[in-house]
Amino acid sequence: MIKGLQEEAEADYQALLALAKLPDIGRINYAEALLGKAIYNTAVFILDTAAFIQKHLPARVDKPPKAKPSRDGQDIVFPGRKTYPRFLIKKIAVSGKGTPGSALDGFYASGVITGIASEPPVYGLPLTAALFAQTPSQILFRLNGEFNHVTPEFQDTIELTLQGLPLPGLDLGGSEYLPSKILAGKAGIDATVKIIPERMQLKALFTAGQIKADFSGKPEPDDLIAEIVRKTLAGIDQVTIDCQLEQVNDGLEMKISSNLNRMISERLQATIGEKVTGFTRELRAEVDARLREAERSLDALKASYEEAIAAKLTEFQKMIDLEKQKLEAKKAELETKKKELEAELDAMKKELESELQKKIKAEEEKLKAEEEKLKKKLEKEFEGIKDLF
């Protein structure tokens, strides 16, 4: 019974562990939850800027002007003549730098823009731009773009790179999980915008390093996730965020991935694992303690029942022994009675046999006398018959 109790307790313990299933925290997108709004607003700003640039480019021509129908004559080509758009700037080269000793000391910019045309299909070449700039604080800006409206199915591509952006002063919003401000750190952005008819796509990689965050003024975390997120962000040195935003017609779809997801989920897994291990250890100790208490109670109850059963068995055994003695006495009495009856039967048998012998002898003598009498009679009659013959 106690062994069965141990097996049942083990089964209940395993059932409790099975019920304590934890969510798959590795699949939660913490970067999207923490920074999704800020990233979305920045991405939308970049898309709107690209759309503004694309909107103010020369209107695309769906179909090139139709050539006049031939009159089945001979085409004569006059060399040296080429058709140009009504407005065309083939190339613009820009460069500049800040005046030494001024606030712009250290500033430098250069770039080339080609193919600015009012009628790209007529010109036959896309508009291209390659710009570079560096601020006095060593922030680097690089933009490469190609706006190809030569064919109706146009495709515009803008590549933007920013390096050395200072993180102090960055607005992180009012999230309770994020720092109140960033004291140090630099960031970089590599973004690509592609625009085709009825579709616009942005891919951006945000990297930040040498981060020092300040949580002063923020309330203390009141749950495990907030505590883990704060510890992770407080000790983080480098962050990478990969964002993809796609606009099809009037709909927007955003995808975000980051090393924050891995770091936070790993720390959560470790912390929850420790808590689960502690919980299971406490649960096992509690189950074992209650099991031992139940076993002691069962042992005492078993001993009490065994003592009561032993006393009852002793009482029953005495009653059985007494009944056996009574049965033995009754058996002896019956045996004596049997012998007496057998003696009486033997005497009666002998007496009956004697009387029967007497009766048989008397009957035999009677039959013998009658036989003699009959014999004499027959002899007499025979003699009479004999005399007749």
Confidence of residue 33 (pLDDT cuts 50, 70, 90): low
- The answer as to whether 292 is a domain residue is no
**Residue range 308-320: mean pLDDT, rounded:** 90
The DSSP 8-state label assigned to residue 23 in this structure reads: P
pLDDT, one tens digit per residue, over 117-135 is 988 988 989 999 999 999 9
14 compared with 314, residue with greater pLDDT: 314
Nearest of 140, 146, 150, 218 to residue 178 by alpha carbon? 218
* CB environment 33-47: b (16+ within 10 A), e (fewer): bbbeeebbebbeebb
User: What pLDDT is stored for residue 104 in this prediction?
Assistant: 87
Confidence of residue 70 (pLDDT cuts 50, 70, 90): low
Please check the confidence at residue 9 and state whether its pLDDT lies above 50: yes
Please check the confidence at residue 350 and state whether its pLDDT lies above 70: yes
DSSP 250-305: TEEEEEEEEHHHHHHHHHHHHHHHHHHHHHHHHHHHHHHHHHHHHHHHHHHHHHHH
User: What pLDDT is stored for residue 347 in this prediction?
Assistant: 87
**What whole-number percentage of the chain has pLDDT above 70?**
78
CA 186 – CA 118 distance, rounded (Å): 41
- The answer as to whether 204 is a domain residue is yes
**Residue range 303-320: mean pLDDT, rounded:** 90
Please check the confidence at residue 357 and state whether its pLDDT lies above 60: yes
pLDDT, one tens digit per residue, over 268-278 is 777 776 776 67
Residue-range definition of the domain harbouring residue 243: 21-60+84-260
| Domain tally, the chain | 1
Averaged confidence pLDDT in the chain? 79
Q: Is the pTM here over 0.75, yes or no?
A: no
- The answer as to whether 276 is a domain residue is no
Where does 84-175 have alpha helices with state H?
120-123
- The answer as to whether 25 is a domain residue is yes
Confidence of residue 107 (pLDDT cuts 50, 70, 90): very high
Please check the confidence at residue 101 and state whether its pLDDT lies above 80: yes
211 compared with 24, residue with greater pLDDT: 211
Secondary structure E strands in the chain:
88-97, 108-117, 127-134, 140-148, 155-166, 181-196, 199-214, 238-248, 251-258
Confidence of residue 7 (pLDDT cuts 50, 70, 90): low
Confidence of residue 228 (pLDDT cuts 50, 70, 90): confident
Confidence of residue 143 (pLDDT cuts 50, 70, 90): very high
295 compared with 162, residue with greater pLDDT: 162
pLDDT, one tens digit per residue, over 284-301 is 777 778 878 877 888 888
Please check the confidence at residue 139 and state whether its pLDDT lies above 50: yes
**What whole-number percentage of the chain has pLDDT above 90?**
16
For residues 172 and 217, is the Cβ–Cβ distance under 8 A?
A: no
- The answer as to whether 49 is a domain residue is yes
Please check the confidence at residue 72 and state whether its pLDDT lies above 80: no
Biggest CA pair distance of the chain: 207
Please check the confidence at residue 366 and state whether its pLDDT lies above 60: yes
* CB environment 2-23: b (16+ within 10 A), e (fewer): eeeeeeebeeebeeeeeeeeee
- The answer as to whether 6 is a domain residue is no
User: What pLDDT is stored for residue 61 in this prediction?
Assistant: 47
pLDDT, one tens digit per residue, over 175-226 is 777 787 888 889 899 999 998 887 888 899 989 888 888 888 777 877 777 7
